[in-house]
Amino acid sequence: MSCRVIFIVFMLLASDWHFGDAARILAVFPTASISHQIVFRKLTLELNKRGHELVVVTPDPVNDPTLKNYTEIDVSFQYNDKDSLPNIIGMRGKVDWFGWLKVQVPMITRQVTKIFEQPDLKKLYHPNSGEKFDLILMQMFFTPAFMSFAARFKAPMIGIHSASLQTSMQYAIGNPILHSDPSNWQLDMKFPESSWIPWRRLDNFIQSWRFIHYHRTVYLPKQQKIAEKYLGIDIPDLHDLEKNISLIFVNQQGPISFAKPNVPKVIDIGGFHVTNKIKPLPKDLKKVLDEATQGFVYMSLGSNVHSKMLPEKARKDIVAAFSKLPYKVIWKFEDDTLKNLPENVIILKWTPQQAVLAHPNIKVFIYQGGLQSTEEAVSNGVPLIGLPVMSDQDMNVRKMESVGVAKKLEITNINEKDFFEAVRTVAGDDGYKQRMLNLRSLLKDKPYNMLENAVWWTEHVIRHRGAPYLHSTTADQPWYQRQDMDIVAFLSAMFVISSILSLFILYKYVIYSLRIGSDPTVEKSKKRN
C-alpha cells in the first residue's frame, strides 16, 4: 500500500514538474548559408535543452554526439550549387530583387527536389513511416514546398526568418505593404542610392506588386507541384498553409531596424547567436591584435559575399588605402590572389569574427551589411563602414548610418580616396564609438530575454495546437480591398461620372446660350423693349 502511495505522489510531482510536456519538433532550415543557420540553431538547441526532441534538416549540422534526442538530416550538398551563381557584386545595380530571384529559381527548385529525395528525410515523410510531430519549425525563405510537412504530419507550423520578412510573406500574413518605406529591403538592389523621388516611388510600387504577383501566381504553384510529387496531390494549397501559419519569428530588433507595423503573429527575435562566452583567439592572431596598440581595422564581407568577388581595381584601391593607415588591418580574404600586401595588412581565409570584434584594440569593422554581423558589431560597440551588396544589407547599413554609428560606401564604385577618408573618419572620430556604445546600451535594455520569449511562444503553440487567434482577417481579403482600391475605384468612378455630367450640362448650356444669342426674334424683342 505504501509503495502505491509513493508511486502516486511521484506521478503527481512529475506532472507538476511538466516532465510529460516534451514535444517532438521537425525543424526544416534548407538555406545553405551559415549566417542564417546560426540564428535557427540557437533556438533548436535551447528547445532541446528544455527537453524537447528535435529532428533538424540543415546544411550546417552541429554534429555534437553528446546531444540526446537531437537528430540532424544533413543537406550540405546544397553548397555545391552556390558556386554556379554569377558574381553577386557584379549584378548589383543591374538587376532588382525580382531579377536576382529569377536567377536563383532554377537552383532553388533543384535543391528543394534534392532535399525531398534525401534518404533519411524520405523515410521520415513516407506514408507508412509512423512518424509523428507536434510542431513544424520552418524557415520562411523561398522554399515554401516544405510547408506541406505541416499537412503531412497534421501539426501546427511556426515560421522563422533570420532577417526581415520579404514582401511576399508580408502580403501572405496580412501585413501592410509599404512600397517606399525604408523597411522594404527588397527595393534597394536596383536603386542603391536615391534617384528622382516620384519616379522611384512609382517604380517601387510596380516592383512590389510585380514580385507579389509572381510569387503567388508562378512561384507557389511550381513549389506546389514539387510538394504534390512527394507527398501526394491531396495536400492543401500552399497559399492557405502560408497565410494560416501559427506565428513567425522575425529577426528585427527595434533599435537597429526601421519601425514598421506588423500583425500579431509576427514575433520579434534577435541577437540569438551573439554569445557571451567567446572562445579565445588563436594564439598567433591574438598576438597580432594585442600588439596593435594604435588599433586595428577588421574587414569581412561575410559568408555569402566574398572579398575575392571584388573587381581588380577595387582590390588595388582598398590595399592602397590600407597602406596609408596607422593601424593594423585584418582582412578576411578567401584565396591567395592578393600579392604585394603592405606590412600592416594580414589576410585570413577564416576569422573567429565575434572574438575579433570583442578585442579592445579594434577601431572599425568594414562589412557588407549583414544583419548578424550588424548585431555582433553593436553588441561589441564597434563602429562600422558598410559596403552593402544584396538582400537586406542596404537597409541595415542605412539604419546604422541614420543613428550615426556607420558610414556607407557604394561597393561598385570604390576608390582609394573615399575609402581612406571613410576609415580615417570613423576610426578617428570618438563620436562614432560613443554613439555605438549608446546604441548597444539601448539594444540590451529589454523587458525580457528574446530567446526565452521565443521558447515560450513555441511551447504555447505546441500546447494549444496552433494560435489561430493571432490570425489577421486582412490575410483573407483580396488585394484590392486591402489597399482600399475598391473604394478608390468607386470614388474615381463617381468623380468621372460627375465630371462628365457637369461637362454635358455645361455643353448644353453653352449651346443653348449660343442659340438664344443668334435668334433674330430674340433681338427684335430686345429692341422693342
What is the predicted pLDDT for the residue at 115? Answer: 95
361: number of Cβ within 10 Å:
15
| Predicted local distance difference test score (pLDDT) of residue 107 | 87
Task: Give domain 22-273+449-478's CATH superfamily.
Answer: Glycogen Phosphorylase B; (3.40.50.2000)
Q: Confirm whether 22-273+449-478 and 283-444 share one CATH topology.
A: yes
The residue to which cell 582590390 is assigned: 315
Give the separation between CA 230 and CA 429, rounded to whole angstroms. 58
Please report the pLDDT score of residue 9 as a whole number: 45
Q: What is the pLDDT along the chain (529 residues), one digit of tens a residue?
A: 455 545 444 444 444 444 447 899 999 999 988 888 999 999 999 999 999 999 999 999 999 999 999 999 999 998 887 665 667 777 777 766 677 777 788 888 999 999 999 999 999 999 999 999 999 999 998 899 999 999 999 999 999 998 888 889 999 999 998 877 778 777 654 444 444 566 777 878 888 888 899 999 999 999 999 999 999 988 999 999 999 999 999 998 889 998 889 999 999 998 888 888 888 999 999 999 999 999 999 999 988 888 888 888 999 999 999 999 999 999 999 887 777 889 999 999 999 999 999 999 999 999 999 999 999 999 999 999 999 988 889 999 999 999 999 999 999 899 999 999 999 999 999 999 999 999 999 999 989 899 999 999 999 999 999 999 999 999 998 888 888 888 989 999 999 999 999 999 998 888 888 877 666 665 555 555 5
In this structure, whether the domain defined by 283-444 belongs to CATH 3.40.50.10860 is answered with no
Which strands, in side-by-side order, build the sheet including 53-58?
A: 70-74, 53-58, 24-28, 135-139, 157-161, 247-251, 266-269
Quote the DSSP letter at residue 255.
G
Contacts 24+ apart (CB under 8 A), 220-226: 220/144, 222/109, 223/112, 223/143, 223/144, 223/145, 224/145, 226/109, 226/112, 226/113, 226/116, 226/145
CA angle at 372 for the pair 370 and 374, rounded to the nearest 5°: 70
For 132-158, b/e burial (b = at least 16 CB within 10 A) is ebbbbbbbbbbbbbbbbbbbbbebbbb
Q: How far apart are CA 18 and CA 12, in angstroms?
A: 10
Query: For the chain, which residues make up each domain, given as ranges?
Result: 22-273+449-478, 283-444, 484-528
Cβ neighbourhood burial of 286 (10 Å; 0-12, 13-18, 19+): middle
23: left (phi over 0), alpha (psi -120 to 50) or beta: beta
pLDDT value of residue 187? 66
Are 89 and 309 in contact by the 8 Å Cβ rule? The answer is yes
Predicted pLDDT of residue 7:
46
- Tell me the three cell numbers of residue 320: 592602397
Residues contacting residue 140 through CB under 8 Å, at least 6 positions apart: 159, 160, 161, 165, 169, 245, 248
In sequence order, the 6+-apart residues with CB closer than 8 A to the CB of 466 are 156, 246
CA atoms within 13 A on the CB side of 471: 18
- Which residues share a beta bridge with 250? 161, 268
Strand, helix or coil for residue 160: strand
Give me the half-sphere count of Cα atoms (radius 13 Å) on the Cβ side of residue 317. 16
484: left (phi over 0), alpha (psi -120 to 50) or beta: left
Give the number of other CB atoms < 10 A from CB of residue 369: 29
Global confidence as pTM? 0.86
Nearest to 134 by CA among 152, 160, 156, 151: 156
In this prediction, residue 522 carries a pLDDT of 52
- Residue 228: predicted pLDDT: 95
Q: Residue 278 has what DSSP assignment?
A: P
